[in-house]
Structure 1
Amino acid sequence: MYKLVFFVPAEHCEQVKAAVFEAGAGAQGNYACCSWQVLGQGQFLPLDGSQPFIGEMGKVEQVDEYRVETLCPEERVRDVIAALKLAHPYEEPAFEFYQLVTM
């Protein structure tokens, strides 16, 4: 089992969560669409060659974003990554997977 953590602009949070849930993330026991999220502020600087969804080339941008955490079974990781990238508005979405230890 893995934990997926991703960062998404506030106005796109629900659509990206729906996509990763549809791809197989978010199940815990007898529950589906499980996640935890907290609002924060992301920062980035678009460099030459980038096509930023938000912001301008060469200017630091700060955006209200959610950090979303959800579970993902190992056999669904590739599908969930594909769904996340397709649904996310950013050219380079920030996400991480952590392998969990079960006891």
Structure 2
Amino acid sequence: MLKLIYYVPESHLESTKQAIFAAGAGGIGNYEHCAWQVLGTGQFKPIKGADPFIGDVGELERVEEWRVETIVPENKASDVAKALKASHPYEEPAFEFIQMVEVNY
């Protein structure tokens, strides 16, 4: 099992979640569409060649973004990553997968 963490502006919060859920993320036992999210501030500076969704080339930008965490089966990671990239407004969405250790209890 993997944990997906990604950052997204408010305008695309729900649409990215729906896309990754449709691709297989967010299932825990008898529950689906499971996620945890918190609002924070991201920053970036687009450089020459960038086509930023928010901000201007050469200017440091700070923007409110949501950090979203959810669970992804390993065999769905590629599909979920593709769905996230296709639904995310940024050229280079920031995301990561973290390997989780399953514990029997």
TM-score normalized by the length of structure 1: 0.99
Partner of 1:93: 93
- Partner SS, residue 70 of structure 2: strand
Partner of 1:59: 59
TM-score normalized by the length of structure 2: 0.97
Partner of 2:32: 32
Gaps of 5+ in 1: none
Deviations 1:33-66 (A, max 9, x none): 0000000011000000111011001000111100
CA distance in 1, matches of 2:54, 2:102: 39
CA distance in 1, matches of 2:28, 2:39: 23
Output the aligned Cα RMSD.
0.4
CA distance in 2, matches of 1:98, 1:56: 32
Aligned residues, how many?
103
Q: CA deviation at 1:10?
A: 1.2
Please show how residues 10-89 of structure 1 align to structure 2 within 5 Å: 10-89=10-89
Q: CA deviation at 1:11?
A: 1.6
